[in-house]
């Protein structure tokens, strides 16, 4: 079982979504009106991915999602 952590990513423009996918974030939901996306990343890569996302100028802020991912199972 792979532990996962969730992100809530607030962005300035939808063009950044392609770059977010390059950081290996699995985007599950995008809200066009409020300009945010919800995505998940493997637990060992959480902090490094968060730092890389915040370095991008098109991203306003990154928050940890409150959704509990313990009940989901992902196999490699």
Q: What is the pTM of this model?
A: 0.81
How are beta strands 59-64 and 36-42 bridged, if at all?
Answer: unpaired
Among residues 11, 9, 16, the alpha carbon closest in space to that of 46 is found at 9
Percent of the chain residues topping a pLDDT of 70: 87
CATH: 2.30.40.10, 3.30.930.10, 2.60.40.1930, 3.30.70.80. Which one for 4-64? 3.30.70.80
23 and 69 in contact (C-beta within 8 Å)? no
Q: Average of pLDDT values for 23-51?
A: 92
**Nearest 10 degrees: Cα torsion 28, 20, 8, 32:** -70
Instruction: Please report the pLDDT score of residue 21 as a whole number.
Output: 87
43-65 average pLDDT score: 92
Cα separation, 71 vs 76, whole angstroms: 16
């Amino acid at each position: 079982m792979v532990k996962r952590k969730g992100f809530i990513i607030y962005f300035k423009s939808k063009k950044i979504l392609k770059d977010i996918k390059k950081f290996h974030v699995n985007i599950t939901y995008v809200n066009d009106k409020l300009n945010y996306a919800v995505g998940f990343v493997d637990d060992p890569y959480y902090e490094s991915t968060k730092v890389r996302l915040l370095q991008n100028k098109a991203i306003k802020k990154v928050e940890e999602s409150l959704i509990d991912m313990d009940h989901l199972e992902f196999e490699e």
